[in-house]
Chains A and B, each alone.
Chain A
Amino acid sequence: MRGLLLYLTNNGSLFLFLLLEAVCFYTMVRFNDTQQRVWLTTSNAFAGYFNKKADDVYDYFGMGNQMAALQRENKMLRQQLQYMAYLQGDSLLRDTALNGNFSELQQATSGKDTLYHHFTYIPVEVIDNSIRSLDNTLTLNRGRRDGIEPDMGVINGDGVVGIVRQVSEHYSTVMSLLHRQTRISASIKRTGAFGVLRWHGDEFDSERIRLEDIPQHEIVNVGDTVVTTGYPLSNIFPKGVFIGLVEKAQKDKVGNFYTIDVKLNIRMSRVQHAYVVSLNRRQELLQLESQPLK
């Protein structure tokens, strides 16, 4: 301790110099435009570089989860294929589906089945995501060039992610499920009763969403599955995409509807990969729907 004090007094001028320089640089960066700009740009560049590195590491360690999600998704798709093949009673198709050879299946179905070609799924990566504000958004690494257009739905193996809002050449922004303007038509799978999914930003809870407009004469149980309806109003999602389970169903005191809390299956904080759902004959459908009824 005495040694330290001695050292400090002997080098007093050096330390005073460094201390006052630090004060100067702080005031400089704090109160001068030029220096502030340079400081921010430089520190942002540094921070960006290190964040990128950290992201890479996290990506690597998160791979297990992603892998599991992809496997779940694959399993689901496989099941759907089998189911479809079964529906069509096409033995060739069924066998191919069971054997899981996708290119053969594609050959077998091409030009045959309009239902199969109803939707296209554009794989995207999430490059920015927020869950902690009232209106959360995501940014995707694909844009107009890859066929993404505003109002398309975004899903992944765990459920609905959001709705595309703005599209640039190579990127697009997505209004997340956790956005106060999001309206998604959803139904109780067991009964088929449908309502609208809305997020109210309640306590910024990223795990729950509210299902509204289900009439009180319907029976809603805790634990019921909630899926998308795929109805025209929101024909941006295919039918039956899993959203979550009913956690709490309350009858409104005023009005005739339920207020249902749905526990989301998807963890919005962990979304890294997703698919943009593109309806193949979207233009045709939009045009038709925009014509007045005669």
Chain B
Amino acid sequence: MNRAIVIHIIRFLVVVLLQVLVLRRATLAWDDFPYVQILMYPVFIMLLPLRMQPIYVILWAFALGMAVDVFYNSPGVHASASLFTAFIRMGILRQLAPRGGYTATHNPNKAALGWEWFLRYAAILLTCHLFFYFSVEYFTFVYILQILLKTIGSFIASMIFIIMFVAVFNPKE
């Protein structure tokens, strides 16, 4: 139990630092082309254990979003998107349950359920996250076209980094 918590804290730190110190600066480089942003941090929410209480998932997501917001100087924006992602995660997991349900060793990661399952899972969550994020960033659906373009552009870039993250660290719990 303690080991699991330590792992989550370390992963939390790694994801946040990667996001705000590396990926954020990379995005700043093409500031005049805002349609591609790299948001890799939702991977932390995706990788939380399958049987973790939904309340804790939401609290972790809130902490994650707020931590990112501190560095992005946008209090509340990333946090609200993270909360949304954490909230729909339960439903998505239920939908994506393999035939016969999850076994005791299953966790929502590539090591337990394979690349195909994980990519589908990550893609759905990431799309929802990005769409929600850009919607609250504009705070109005008047710019729905820009929101969609940003979602698509950022989806491709972010997905690449999430795959890299999972391939490199291959998290198991």
Contacts and interface: CB of A to CB of B under 8 A. Distances in A.
A18 to B, nearest CB: 9
Helix, strand, loop or mixed for chain B's interface?
A: helix
Interface in B71-98: 74-77, 79-80, 83-84, 86-87, 90
Contacts of B77: 24, 28, 32, 35
B66 to A, nearest CB: 9
B75 A21 contact: no
B77 to A, nearest CB: 6
Contacts of B55: 12-13, 16
Contacts of A27: 75-76, 79
Nearest to B77: A28
Nearest to B87: A17
A27 B83 CA distance: 14
Contacts of B58: 13, 16-17, 20
B140 A21 contact: no
B83 A20 contact: yes
Contacts of B84: 21
Contacts of B57: 13
B20 to A, nearest CB: 17
Given A17-B58, A20-B83, A21-B84, A38 B140 contact: yes
B157 interface: no
A116 interface: no
A247 to B, nearest CB: 54
Contacts of A83: none
Interface in A6-45: 12-14, 16-17, 20-21, 23-28, 30-32, 34-35, 38-39, 42
Contacts of A20: 58, 62, 79, 83
Contacts of A35: 76-77, 136, 139
B34 interface: no
Nearest to B53: A13
Helix, strand, loop or mixed for chain A's interface?
A: helix
Nearest to A11: B54
A28 B76 contact: yes
Contact of A32 (B65, B75, B90, B140): B75
B137 interface: yes
B83 A17 contact: yes
Interface string B130-145: 0000001111100000
B32 to A, nearest CB: 18
A32 B74 contact: yes
Interface in B150-171: none
B76 A31 contact: yes
B76 A39 contact: no
A153 B90 CA distance: 70
Nearest to B88: A17
B61 to A, nearest CB: 9
Contacts of A32: 74-77
Contacts of A12: 54-55
Given A13-B90, A17-B87, A28 B80 contact: yes
A13 B79 CA distance: 16
Given A13-B90, A16-B59, A24 B83 contact: yes
A42 B136 CA distance: 14
Interface string A87-116: 000000000000000000000000000000
Contacts of A34: 137-139
A16 to B, nearest CB: 5
Nearest to B79: A24
A32 B74 CA distance: 6
Contacts of B139: 28, 34-35, 38-39
A21 B138 contact: no
Contacts of A23: 76
A232 to B, nearest CB: 57
Residue with the highest number of chain A CB atoms closer than 10 Å, among B57, B74, B76, B86: B76
Contacts of A38: 138-140
Contacts of B138: 34, 38
Report the 8 A-B pairs with minimum CB-CB distance, sorted nearest first. A13-B54, A28-B76, A24-B80, A27-B76, A38-B139, A24-B76, A35-B139, A17-B87
11 contacts: A12-B55, A13-B53, A17-B83, A21-B80, A24-B76, A24-B79, A24-B83, A28-B74, A28-B75, A32-B76, A34-B137
